Structure 1
Amino acid sequence: MERWLAILLSIQLLVSASTLEMIDYESQRVTCSKGLSNCTVKACAGIPIQRCPVDEKGLAVQPVLCCRQGTACRPCLHIRLDIQPRNDQTASYVSVCYTVPQLIMPLCKKLEFTVIPAAPDEQASSEAWLSLLLESKAMSFSSQVTVYVCFLHSTVVLPSVDEVCSSASKGVVEECEIPSFSTLIDPERREVMLQVAKEEDSPYQLEMCLQHEHNGMCRTWKDKSLPLHSVTPCMCFQLWWDKGDERSRRSRSCPFRNNTERFQRNLMENVSVSVVQGQMNSGGTMLSWNLTAPCRVEAEVWPCQRDAGVDKDRCTELGGIRQRLSNDIWRENDRGHWLMPGVFEDVKPGLDLCVMVKVKGKNSELGPFCPIDSRWWHWRRGLLVLVSLMLVGLAGICLYFLHGKLKRWAWEWHQKECDQLPIRGHVVLLSPPDVDNSVSELVCELGSSLRARGLSVSVDLWNRAELCSLGPLPWLHSQLQPLDSQGGRALLVLTQAAWKKAEDWGQQWDQHGQQGRDIALGVEEEGEYKRLLQGLSSPYADVFSAALSCIKVDHQQGHAGKRFLLVHFEAHSAKPLSSERGLPELFQGLPLFHLPSQRQELLVQLAIGSKGPRAGIGG
């Protein structure tokens, strides 16, 4: 009896997996039996219950299809709970939680209901239950869902898309929609056309791929036409609507299998055999071969001896060693064709050996296929290498004589383009912390040359009085504000001391990170700012340090290099001798220009940056 019960249960599961009940679904639906009222459902976190109102065997979970007006059906769960009514408490609730493998935490619903007190003579026979339709984006076809209610749990596996689409629900489930197509042969254009039904009506992009044999690799195909000479009997197509997820089922068809006679010639013309004669480990002679064809074919292969006379196509079979191709050895190559390897061992040495092929369905034999003469191949390869070296040498000689003229022409063109660039905007030029007379002269010369090009230039060396009056950070903020409205950049001069200062400043930022960020953004009170200036390791003692704090904030906001550029005077070394690392982390992402060799590149960058506050190079 138990055995028959298990068989019936298995049959019931198989039927429910392929044919799901369709239920019209508008929102989360909860229904209750006669003994309950005021049944509602809402989302919640898992709520522990001291006295569970659900019977110890009162959880039943069944996969169904939730539809909207008979269409757009999605997988969902029909959950039934058998309730034990308690007359001592009319209002009650129960939590229904569920989880799928891709969820980190379970999702829960709270079902609230009111127990209607039953008459004494009806308590023994009354049955109370709750029914919930549960739909969630987390659930999809083939999902494994576990439902938890109090101390009970039930695990179900939703049917796969293929199972659902093979049933009567094919027309109402979106995942079941696949392209319908046919093939049309155009003799005049000698093409095979793919015709897709209702392609214009679909909101999704059509995707296609082509394969040889049903288990071959399917390669992306964009055109809907194929040359007639490339069509073979084993050619197959896969078409699908690109829905961007796993819902994209494919339509598969091999439409040319019934027209084998029409396309068999294309197959035979694309059969090729490569042959190599070699030596075995035992010292004997072997003849290895690889047969390549668009489709797997039934064929026989045998070695033969080519005649030494005028008729080179005549090849005498070496009897007794024919090989029949087996279906389990074929493998696919990169071109999508099928390859069959083979070898004839212990053949007679010193003979002009080749290979013949007889394909089933073709009356004549293919071949002979003979090894390539190794001496001719080595001579041809040597000639190819010699010609290549001669061409490379000739190109090098031409470049040598034309190098000077090309370089001069490119420089003149670049100089002309740079001189024609309109430069407008504001430039803030900031000196390094170790400014001396030679560096000061270079800074002032750079500021004067930029001003001569039409830029509004502000140099800290020219504004000492205002700087001392306002303070380093307020003065710097007042100079950076025009960059947002007028466009432009702030230029930071890089020297050895500036390099070292940036490295030390980065360590101090780690100690006062959040305070320093607030000061750089201008949100600290004046007293707090002065207190930090008096600290032992404050990074805000001068304009250069204030600029470093602004660069740090730009880094944190993802705008490194938008406002600040680095310039290095080639007459002064920038990297300290004691530094073993590259550019300080704070300066990484900022454009760096070496002057005077990259003067034109700097002007181009300033011209680009002057077009607007968003035109700079991003970090």
Structure 2
Amino acid sequence: MFLLCWPVCCFLLAFHKLACGWAGHDVSKVICSQGLSECTVVAVMPFAIPESDAVDVQTLTAKVELCCKENTSCTLCLLMEAEIAIHVDEDMAKRLQLRQDNEEDTKAATISAAAFVTLCYKTPPTFPACKRVDFTVTPTGLEQKVAKISLVITNPAAVSFSSIVYVYPSKAMHLRKEIVSPSLNEVCSQNRRKPIKECHVPTISSVINQKMNQVELKFAGESNMCIQYEADGRCQSWERKTIPLHSVIPCLCLQVWDDDRRSQSCPFKNVGFLEENVWRNLTASVDRGRMNDKGQMLLWNLTAPCRLEGEVWPCRWTLPYICTEIEGFRQQLVNSTWKQNRNMLWVKKGVFENINLQLSTCVMVLLRNGGLHLGPFCSHQTARWRWNLLAVAVLLVIILTALILCLLHDFIKKWASRSFREGCTKICSKGHVVLLSPPDVHNDISEVCGLGSLLRSQGFSVSVDQWSRMEQCNLGPLPWLHSQLLHVKNLGGRAVLILTRKAMRLVQEWSQQHRQALRAVSGDGNLPQSPYSDVFMASLSLILGDKQQGRTGERFLLVTFEEDVARSAGSLPEPFQGLHLFQLPSQMKTLLCELTGGSKGEGRRRKDKGRLEMGNTHAAKEQYTYSVNILEFKDIA
């Protein structure tokens, strides 16, 4: 027994929660007429409602109207007014007669009866919501035997604008009334002082810009928008603020919404020149067929962005450019017979039955709006030769292209070989390149990484100080630099210093401090040791050491990405005088040649300390574009 009752109990509990949830959205207020007292209203479930024998509902009237309260927005209210008949039993009648005979009798004066009335409402297809009005019938009510109850439900559940609402007393279903709530347009058109939230819908405006061949859309806030062909067509989401003018047609409508509020506008209905976009986008297909009785028929299919009204008829060729109508087969294009496909286009299909296909495989279309004749549209068999001609033309183009490439093969081969040799793309030997960045290179880190990536793609072994911060922290700047220069010695290559304006000022200050330190040499002949904060500054002492040994420019060279630094090459700081300076990206090809072939020989020949040889010859001023590929940096400890 318990197992049988358990599902029923669960269903009743769920239904009770659902009913209470619906009823929890509304606010109920009851007003009782003279003869009733202690009137209260409670929400009850719409089934198994107990009946009260003391009263009966005789008439019931209801309506939905807009209620406005102070400091709040207006909302919908359901007003139900019931006239009830009060039944007096024999005991009450005797007590009532006694009260009339002796009004001073205290017991007789307190004659009363507790009763209730249940009123329900629902909107399809939701569950009903019921309100039970409890009250006490006073002696006045017992004498009158008639009373009225007015129930006001604010924000009734599932009732919105233009909703159909059924109201009825639970004890008298024959008194059920059907009412319709006011429409949103009707409510919003009224001049009310109180705000109505639903009337404040987002708006959209459109401006046709014929110079830009587009329609510009403007709507406020973060509203969503969609476009649709015809007001009752499917709406497709649209996120751009412009629409190409060739896609705009008179039946194009715009919808914009924010939360639950939505507005629709069709602003292009009366724009005459947009009619041309409709028939330009109209397509027709014609095909042959046979009926069940082996009769012939001609199938036609029209596709257009808007529903069109007009006529369609078959025709036959009488002159080379005239298709004459075949009488008795004309069909009407009716607005209501079009159907929309998945591409939001409207499709109209038809058939001409019992037609001689030897006379006609074409149809003509007359558009009622403007009296425009379109066609003839003919069966695809008649135009098959055009596709064959197109295939032959494509084949001829392919053959001619192949012949031209064969004739120019030797010329292309010689040109590619000469460019390959002149551009130093044929690299005989590769080496190791160390890229050292000044402390202020953080703003142009992408250029440094791009240079490292380019050199690595050319076959060099590349080390960038920005990529090796962990090793520098473990070894120290100067030991890490010595280890990289050892790779340069074994594999060939150079240490490349990135030169910037701030780097030049830092090197000038370092030179002055170095000269002061030389003057203040201690008695034992040793210079005071100072730590190096980065490998760029640590390389300066090694550059001076190479100059003292007559090996200027053998291990180090300079590059810059700044034009003003390249122009001031004659006034470089003392440690950099005599080093080779390249401006990137204009001298990239010269830099690649220097790193591959001529680094050691030319470095030994450059022993004049006061002379700076710029590698930018006039022939090497062509632009060389390289992609900046930002690589992942190793974590800086």
State the TM-score bracket (shorter-chain normalisation): 0.3 to 0.5
Max Rg structure: 2
Q: TM-score, normalised by structure 1?
A: 0.44
